[in-house]
Amino acid sequence: MTQTLMDRALIEEATKKSGLIWVHGSDGPPRALWHVWHEGAACLLGDGPGEQPFTGLGLTDGGDATVSVRSKDKGGRLVTWPARVTELAPGSDSWQAVVGELKAKRLNTPDAEQVTERWARECRVLRLEPAGAPGELPDGSLAAVPPATPATTRRPIPAALPKLLRPGRKKRGAGRA
What are 20-36's pLDDT values in tens digits?
999 999 888 888 999 99
Locate the DSSP E strands across the chain.
20-24, 31-34, 36-38, 41-46, 64-70, 77-87, 124-130
- The contacts of residue 44 (CB under 8 Å, 6+ apart) are 23, 33, 34, 35, 52, 54, 125, 126, 127, 128
Residue 149 has pLDDT above 90, yes or no: no
Whether the CB-CB separation of 70 and 42 falls below 8 Å is answered with no
To the nearest whole percent, how much of the chain has pLDDT over 70?
A: 93
Q: Confidence band (pLDDT; 50, 70, 90) for 1? A: low
Q: How many CB atoms lie within 10 A of CB 167?
A: 4
Looking at the predicted structure, is the pLDDT value of residue 165 above 90?
no
Q: Where are the domains of the chain?
A: 5-137
Mean pLDDT of the chain: 86
pLDDT digits (tens, 9 = 90+) for 38-52: 999 999 999 988 899
Q: Tell me which of 3.40.50.720, 2.30.110.10, 3.30.1360.120, 3.65.10.10 is the CATH number of domain 5-137.
A: 2.30.110.10
Which pLDDT tens digit goes with each residue over 91-124? 999 999 999 999 998 888 878 888 999 999 999 9
Q: What is the pLDDT of residue 175?
A: 57
The helix-helix angle for 93-105 and 115-122 (nearest 10°) equals 120
